Amino acid sequence: MELTEPTAWSADRLELGEGARWVDDRLVLVDLLAGRLLGTTGDGPAPLAELCRLDVPLGAVAPVAGEPGEWLAAAGTGVARLGADGGHRVVAELEGGNPEPARMNDAVADPHGRFWAGSMTYAGTPGGGSLYRIDPGAAPVPVVTGLTIANGPAFDGAGTTMYLADTPRGHVDRFSVDVRTGALGERTPFLRLDPAEGAPDGMTVDAEDHLWVALWGGSAVRRYRPDGVLDREIRLPAEQPTSVCFGGPGLRRLFVTTAAYGLTDPGPLDGALLAVDVPIAGRPAASVPAG
């Protein structure tokens, strides 16, 4: 089947759909505040299957290499390992000492197996969030502080460039990355969006190293060239797109999670998982090493 327009991929409607990732020929995503990890195929619309449920918010996951059904997750106030049996154990506590109630938000593995996880306060306090890096076998390191709501990050194919969104500020910044150490280099502004355009939420980088950005409140997903020039926009029948990833045949099906959270009168597709085919390929989710 070919999807020429954004189409609901299931009848499920999520409070805060997030964290779409393509892993082992299937799509995984989260219903963040409900702590649910969900999955479906890229073949055709179908009900979302619950893979795991936590009693804390679940921001996003990365697959563990060579261990199907195992995940490293930004969950609660830290990072957890989720098992194929539905169990979980805390790997690192990150935000428990925050003076304000806080939680983890978006997270991703980079092409070199490092796990990057962002945080925020529940109140969205300016400067209350951080981005952490977890190298295999090492303790977490806070690498960017003073954020409000950290989203992304997203990496180019070589892992030498990282994009990071601070959603309420409408900012996306670009960092150089030392592939040997994971250290961040120069931070430069990449996007500065007007509130009327929507706020940058989840992001991904396609096979041509262009950045795709879900625009919370903007009813759209945009593709930007590496020089920051807008390349294309896909309008969506949902107000609050939250994350974006490629999957399906040839990795040319764009999946977009959305949220009904905070809407007083949500429309029929607010909170839906949407899909549309595009003439550009993406990449599957990177994994973290076992151990």
Distance, CA of 105 to CA of 258 (rounded, Å)? 15
Distance, CA of 44 to CA of 10 (rounded, Å)? 9
Nearest-Å Rg of the Cα atoms of the chain is 17
Catalytic-labelled residue, pool 173, 201, 206, 270: 201
Give the DSSP H or E segment for 75.
strand 71-75
Q: Is 55 a catalytic residue?
A: no
Give the DSSP H or E segment for 79.
strand 78-82
Distance, CA of 240 to CA of 235 (rounded, Å)? 11
- What type of residue sits at position 287? S
Distance, CA of 36 to CA of 53 (rounded, Å)? 4
Burial status of residue 69 (CB atoms within 10 A of its CB: 0-12, 13-18, 19 or more)? middle
Measured CA to CA in angstroms, residue 220 lies from 10, 105, 163, 171, 227 at distances of 19, 21, 19, 16, 20
Catalytic positions, please? Answer: 201
